Amino acid sequence: MDKAADLSKTAAFVALEDEVGAHNYHPLDVVIERAAGVWVWDVDGKKYLDCLAAYSAVNQGHCHPVIVEALVTQSRRVALTSRAFRNDQLGPFFQELKRLTGFDRVLPMNTGAEAVETAIKAARKWAYEVKGVPAGQAEILVFTGNFHGRTTMIVGFSSEEQYKRGFGPFAPGFTMLPYGDADAVEAAMNPNVAAVLVEPIQGEAGIVVPPDGYLKRLREITSRHDALLVVDEIQSGLGRTGKMWAYEHEDIRPDVVIMGKALSGGLYPVSAIVADNPIMDVFQPGDHGSTYGGNPVAAAVGLAALRVLVEERMIENSAQLGRYLLDRLRAVDSPHVAEVRGRGLWVGIELVPGAGGARRFCEALRDEGVLCKETHENVIRVAPPLVITREELDWALVRLERVLTA
């Protein structure tokens, strides 16, 4: 910091981070020091409306007081016991997730990627012990454009070459199919398929919404072929699309649901999978675990995060204001915009190839006081916390319209 004393606080922090941190991210140059609800403030005192919500981790808004209180109170009582012992917060957390999902059992982890790995383990073990797939031959169908995390196994079945370059060799057992094409899934089905792993809406791919009926078709196909339907709701779940879970838009029931991010309201790493007994019963003591997974703080925070989401009607707000957001953005007459798509408070603005990339638009929005982030070069994501009001959304929309038409 001393070398940059003549710079603004923002520039000094950017310089420090670039000097001593690994360059595995390319963030916008805004340095946030505090936040509340939908608003954040940088180290130079400028105020911004957050339209990313930490990739859906902050659905409940920044520093929600009820969740913060749960975090602080539990941290003062007991923070970690490991799963070698029980704690008094885990059971109630499980019970609430069971109530909200209708599934028999919960397996807690910490990060979304850990939960995805857990679901893959569950699907494979189920395939061998229940379905009768020959040892070592279980196959999982995945899709182009997927994003399920950053572990070496997960990036191995990504269609994004940068995610894989230099990190191989990768685990076998995954077959990639075009997203949104149910006929391709039907054609790929064979007795060794353990599961289909799918995002109900693809987030990192640019808020890609599949054709109507796609998930319903996947449910029918997997049921007929005795394979599991595993849905990754890490970004799409917990109210983001205007329903608790994005798969509810097609009135289906998957076999395994993966969740994370907003499961803690952005205050702590909490993730989980839920499934019924015939799947969860494949796990025996020693098969799988996590020192921090299901710790008392995580359980208390997760329980509070779930309750405020429901009690404060954030999901309904996402549905109502999401429709308004889509209508307003689709009405913008801009030569730069190719398509506006999304569901709930989760919208992707795809720019035409000649627009010069989404990053310059996100930088312009930052200067206007609105924080968005680009994905796949030509898509601007708009995903504010679900506590946003109509007035706050209008404030952001004025600036979005101004930048998109400049």
**Choice among 94, 232, 255, 361 that is catalytic:** 232
* Catalytic site includes residue 85: no
- The span from the CA of 354 to the CA of 362, in Å, is 16
* Catalytic site includes residue 3: no
**Choice among 94, 143, 147, 174 that is catalytic:** 147
Residue in this structure with the two tokens 């994370």, named with its chain if needed? 260
| Region of residue 394 (left: phi > 0; alpha: psi -120 to 50; beta: else) | alpha
What's the CA dihedral at 26, 387, 341, 237 to 10 degrees?
80
| Region of residue 151 (left: phi > 0; alpha: psi -120 to 50; beta: else) | beta
* Catalytic site includes residue 243: no
- The span from the CA of 74 to the CA of 71, in Å, is 6
Per DSSP bridges, beta strands 370-371 and 47-50 are parallel
**Choice among 125, 131, 261, 373 that is catalytic:** 261
347 closest CA partner among 312, 364, 372: 372
Q: What are 335's two structure tokens?
A: 């030569």
Is residue 222 within 8 Å of 228, Cβ to Cβ?
A: yes
Q: Which residues are catalytic?
A: 147, 232, 261
